[in-house]
Amino acid sequence: MAKTGIFHHVGTFLLFVAAILLLITTISAPVVGDIAILKVTLTNKTDLRNSSVTFGTFGHCILDVAPVQTDQDFCYPKHIGYNPAEIMSQIDQTTFTTAATDTSKALTRVMILHPIACGVAFIAFLLALGSGVCGAIFAAMVAAVAWLITLVVMVTDFVLFGIIKRHVNGDGSGSHAVFSTGMWTILAAMVILFFATFIVLFTCFSSRMHRQDRHSSKEAGYNGTTTTRRRHFWQRRNRY
Q: List domains and CATH numbers for the chain.
A: 2-216 (1.20.140.150)
Give pLDDT < 50 ranges for the chain: 1-2, 208-222, 225-228, 232-235, 238-240
Instruction: Using alpha carbons, select from 129, 117, 97 the residue that is nearest to residue 182.
Output: 117
Neighbours of 222 (CB within 10 A): 8
81 sits in the region (left: phi over 0; alpha: psi -120 to 50; else beta) called left
What pLDDT score was predicted for residue 20? 98
What pLDDT score was predicted for residue 131? 67
* SS3 (DSSP) at 226: coil
What pLDDT score was predicted for residue 108? 97
Cβ-Cβ contacts under 8 Å for 21 (sequence gap 6 or more): 185, 186, 188, 189, 192
What pLDDT score was predicted for residue 220? 47
Q: What are the residues facing 75 on neighbouring strands?
A: 61
pTM of structure: 0.83
What pLDDT score was predicted for residue 239? 46
What pLDDT score was predicted for residue 6? 84
What pLDDT score was predicted for residue 58? 97
- The sign of the CA dihedral 200, 206, 209, 214 is negative
Contacts of 160-165 with C-beta under 8 Å, sequence gap 24+, read 160/84, 160/103, 160/104, 160/107, 160/108, 160/110, 160/111, 161/37, 161/38, 161/55, 161/84, 163/85, 163/96, 163/100, 163/103, 163/104, 164/38, 164/40, 164/55, 164/84, 164/85, 164/88, 164/104, 165/38
Q: How far apart are CA 119 and CA 115, in angstroms?
A: 6
